C-alpha cells in the first residue's frame, strides 16, 4: 500500500454501521502488514469510537452522519472519526472494574478507556458541529516491542 493513501467512509448514525468502519480499518491494516492481534485492537477501538459518535455525538439522530477517514503513513495508520455533534469536554473516565462487577458503577462508559488502551495515540477534539472528532493512531513498529 502506498504511503499517504487515504480512504473516507460516511456512515449513518445507526448502531450496527460501525462494523463497516471496523472492516475498512481492518482491511487497510492488513494491507499495511499489521498482525492479527493489532488488527483486532484497531477494530475494537474504531468500533468504540464510531459507537460514541453515533450515540453521544449525534444522539442517535439518523439524519446526521459519522465520517471516518483512514490515512496511511510510513509508520502507521491514522483514523479520524468525525461526528456532527459538539464533541466531548471531559477527560476519558478510568473505570473501577470492581465497582462495575458489583453493580456499584454503570456497566457502560468504558469506550474511551478501551480506545486509549488499544491504540498508540487517542485524542479527542471538540469543535463546532461537524468538526468534532477523535483521532486514533496505531503504529506498525509497536509490534516489535
The DSSP bridge pattern shows strands 76-83 and 121-125 to be: unpaired
Total count of residues recorded for the chain: 145
How does strand 132-139 pair with strand 76-83? antiparallel
- Residue spans per domain, the chain: 6-144
In three-state secondary structure terms, 72 is strand
What pLDDT score does 12 carry? Answer: 94
pTM of the predicted model as reported, rounded to 2 decimal places:
0.85
Q: For residue 54, how many C-alpha atoms fall within 13 Å in the half-sphere facing its CB? A: 20
pLDDT tens track, the chain, 145 positions: 667 899 999 999 999 999 999 999 999 999 999 999 999 999 999 999 999 999 988 999 989 999 999 999 999 999 999 998 766 655 556 666 666 566 666 656 667 888 999 999 999 888 877 788 999 999 987 654 4
CATH class given for the domain over 6-144: alpha beta
Amino acid at each position: 500500500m502506498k504511503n499517504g493513501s487515504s480512504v473516507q467512509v460516511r456512515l449513518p448514525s445507526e448502531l450496527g454501521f460501525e462494523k463497516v468502519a471496523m472492516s475498512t480499518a481492518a482491511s487497510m491494516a492488513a494491507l499495511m502488514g499489521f498482525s492479527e492481534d493489532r488488527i483486532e485492537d484497531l477494530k475494537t477501538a474504531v468500533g468504540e469510537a464510531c459507537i460514541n459518535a453515533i450515540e453521544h455525538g449525534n444522539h442517535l439522530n439518523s439524519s446526521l452522519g459519522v465520517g471516518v477517514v483512514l490515512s496511511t503513513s510510513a509508520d502507521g495508520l491514522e483514523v479520524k472519526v468525525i461526528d456532527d455533534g459538539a464533541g466531548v469536554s471531559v477527560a476519558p473516565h478510568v473505570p473501577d472494574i470492581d465497582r462495575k462487577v458489583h453493580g456499584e458503577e454503570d456497566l457502560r462508559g468504558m469506550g474511551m478507556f478501551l480506545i486509549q488502551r488499544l491504540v498508540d495515540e487517542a485524542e479527542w477534539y471538540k469543535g463546532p458541529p461537524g468538526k468534532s472528532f477523535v483521532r486514533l493512531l496505531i503504529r506498525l513498529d509497536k509490534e516489535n516491542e
